[in-house]
Amino acid sequence: MKKPAVFIDRDGTVNEQRGYINHPSRFIILPGVVEAIRALNHHGFHVIVVSNQSGVARGYFPIDLVHEIHEFMKGHFRKNRATVDGIFFCPHHPGGSVPGYAIQCNCRKPKTGLIEQACKSMDIDLSNSYVVGDRCEDIELAEHAGMKGILVKTGYGLGEIDHVLPFKAVKPAHIGEDLFHAVQWIMNEERASQKR
Ligand SMILES: [Mg+2]
Ligand SMILES: [Zn+2]
């Protein structure tokens, strides 16, 4: 049976925004993230991380480092009884320098390639799914794929709200303090829609 998903941005939403995460020591999981993911697990959502990692294309770090950090992240959640069902990332950038990755791709957010990859590997009810992230590109991703977008104030969020969002045609369905509060809002939406 198809289940809705919550697509969660990584840097600035799951972990502290610290420029390029080019070493495991820079990967610090934000407060409330484990609890948020656990709540989504219990409420029947796929939990899927979607991330732009152009540092690979730019030659700042190897793709293996991204995999290493994702193994660490999954392990941390597993230890805390929270499950991430999928992790999809874009290692590309047209302005990069690493052959094979320095390309114009269809998976760099706000393009929808990562969502399409996720839909190929699991049964997702996209029309009832959400994107949570700290950048306007996450909200645009939601719009492009027919989902609701929630902007969080962690990471680049506050700056995006002040300096980028006013000039964007697309607006978030909600602005939340952080991932935990974004998930609370999603739960309320779900409850409201079940009453309808
Ligand atoms: Mg981000
Ligand atoms: Zn890509």
- Cα(3)–Cα(175) distance, rounded to whole angstroms? 24
Going through the chain in order, the beta strands assigned E by DSSP cover: 5-9, 46-52, 86-90, 130-133, 148-152, 174-176
pLDDT average, residue stretch 115-137: 97
Helix axes 179-195, 33-42, angle to 10 degrees: 20
Measured in Å, residue 81 CA sits from the centre of ligand 1 at 24
Ligand 1 center–CA 149 separation, angstroms: 13
Residue type, 154: T
For residue 193, what pLDDT band results from cuts at 50, 70 and 90?
confident
In angstroms, the Cα distances linking 86 to 1, 154, 163 are 17, 22, 32
Query: pTM above the 0.85 mark?
Result: yes
Rounded Cα distance between 42 and 35, Å, is 11
| Cβ neighbours, 10 Å, residue 79 | 9
CA distance 125 to 34: 23
Mean pLDDT of the chain: 97
Task: Please report how the helices 63-79 and 33-42 are oriented relative to each other, as an axis angle in degrees rounded to 10.
Answer: 70
User: Which residues belong to the active site?
Assistant: 9, 11
The count of other CB atoms within 10 Å of the CB of residue 158 is: 13
Q: Assess whether pLDDT exceeds 80 at residue 186.
A: yes
Ligand nearest to the CA of 117: 2
CA angle 114, 176, 66 (to 5 degrees): 35
Closest ligand to 160 CA? 1
What is the per-residue pLDDT across 142-183, written as a single tens digit (0 to 9) for each? 999 999 999 999 999 999 999 999 999 999 999 999 999 999
Strands of the sheet containing 86-90, edge to edge, are 86-90, 46-52, 5-9, 130-133, 148-152, 174-176
The pLDDT of residue 196 is: 61
Expressed in angstroms and rounded, the spacing between residue 134 Cα and the centre of ligand 1 is 5
